[in-house]
Amino acid sequence: MNTSRNHGLILSEHTLELVPRQPAVYAILSDGEAGSNNQRCRYVGFTENLRDSVLKHFQPGEPIVPLRYFMLSSKLKYLLYELLPGTDKSLLFKKTEEWMEKFNMASSSQEKEEMAHMNFA
């Protein structure tokens, strides 16, 4: 039985504390709330600690330059996520690829190779 479920919230300094510290696959969206016709996916990823990963995206050291500019802007940011506690790495990769396809995010073979070699803290 699949009990996973998507969750979402608008990201702001007031809602960051609501982001769980659990493994998850997630997307950062802009230009409207999730479910609207004009939303744009800015990022899809997976993590062992969702809150820490989301907080890092707000830091000036964010390595993905367009994402860094977006996260530091005043534009609306929406976080959509699926918690995956106790999930093994292969399922996290599979879920991430599903989400990338769902949001029409390009995934190069190099990105897939990098995901395969990631280590969790």
pTM for the model:
0.79
pLDDT at 117: 41
pLDDT at 106: 66
pLDDT at 50: 96
Distance CA 72, CA 94 (A): 30
Tens place of pLDDT per residue across the chain (121 aa)? 345 688 999 998 889 999 999 999 999 998 754 555 567 899 999 999 999 999 999 888 889 888 888 998 888 999 999 999 888 888 888 999 999 998 888 654 444 444 444 444 3
Distance CA 78, CA 40 (A): 10
How far apart, in Å, are the Cα atoms of 67 and each of 13, 41, 81, 85, 89?
Answer: 17, 10, 17, 26, 25
Dihedral sign of CA atoms 54, 112, 93, 100 in order: positive
Instruction: Check: CB of residue 21 under 8 Å from CB of residue 95.
Output: no
pLDDT at 56: 92
Instruction: Check: CB of residue 66 under 8 Å from CB of residue 53.
Output: no
